[in-house]
Structure 1
């Protein structure tokens, strides 16, 4: 048996809005909320509408694709994220710098911000990335 990542879970002040952002980044359908039958089960279990909207997801339903899960987190963040997500516009090749610039502009139009450009080398290999933040300040890199 091997393990797989079930979710990438992100604490959010506004889970629904952050789910919309990440769905657009990943090319997933816009989230429409939980299915009505699931909402009925949650209400029957005593959850309020606020409890239900405290969680959201961005996913296209394909088990081969990553599911992003958002949960309301109202406590103060004490330190920076110890890990972050790296995204790329292609799944079959490395993007050129021009292609990364186009994708950067698309993500900024969706609500991301640019933190800085990173350039380094790992032996003979160039490592170039654009460090960005989602609308709630979570770091991710575009490469």
Structure 2
């Protein structure tokens, strides 16, 4: 048996809004909430509408695609993220700078912000990435 990533989890002030951003970023269907039968089970177990709204997901239901999970966190962040995710517009090839700039603009229109552009080299390989933040300030890189 080997481990696999089941979720990438974010603490969020507004889980639903952050789920909508990441659904748009990843090309997943727009989040419309939890299935009615699941909401009924949660309410029967004693959860309130606010309890249910404290969690959200961005996922297209495909088990080969990454699921993003959001849970309400009301405390102030004490330090910068110690890890972040890297995303790319293609799964079959490396994006050009021009393609990354187009994707950057699409993500900004969804609510992301640009932190800085990273350029350099690693040995003979050119490195180019755009460090960004989602609407709640979580770092990610577009590369």
Interval of TM-score (by shorter of Structure 1 and Structure 2): over 0.9
CA distance in 2 between counterparts of 1:78 and 1:50 reads 25
What residue is the counterpart of 2:46 in the other structure?
Answer: 46
What residue is the counterpart of 1:20 in the other structure?
Answer: 20
Deviation digits for residues 11-65 of structure 1 (CA, Å, limit 9, x no counterpart): 1000000000000000000011101111111111111100000000000000000
Give the C-alpha shift of residue 125 in structure 1.
1.0
Q: Which moved more, 1:114-123 or 1:56-65?
A: 114-123
Give the C-alpha shift of residue 121 in structure 1.
1.5
What residue is the counterpart of 1:123 in the other structure?
Answer: 123
**TM-score, with length taken from structure 2:** 0.98
> For 2:108, what is the secondary structure of its paired residue?
helix
Count of aligned pairs: 143
What residue is the counterpart of 1:94 in the other structure?
Answer: 94
Give the C-alpha shift of residue 120 in structure 1.
2.0
Give the C-alpha shift of residue 137 in structure 1.
0.5
Root-mean-square deviation over aligned CA pairs: 0.6
For structure 2, the 5+ residue unaligned runs are none
**TM-score, with length taken from structure 1:** 0.98
Deviation digits for residues 67-124 of structure 1 (CA, Å, limit 9, x no counterpart): 0000000011111111001000000000000000100000000000000000122111
CA distance in 2 between counterparts of 1:61 and 1:142 reads 23
What residue is the counterpart of 2:62 in the other structure?
Answer: 62
CA distance in 2 between counterparts of 1:119 and 1:101 reads 13
What residue is the counterpart of 1:109 in the other structure?
Answer: 109
What residue is the counterpart of 1:9 in the other structure?
Answer: 9
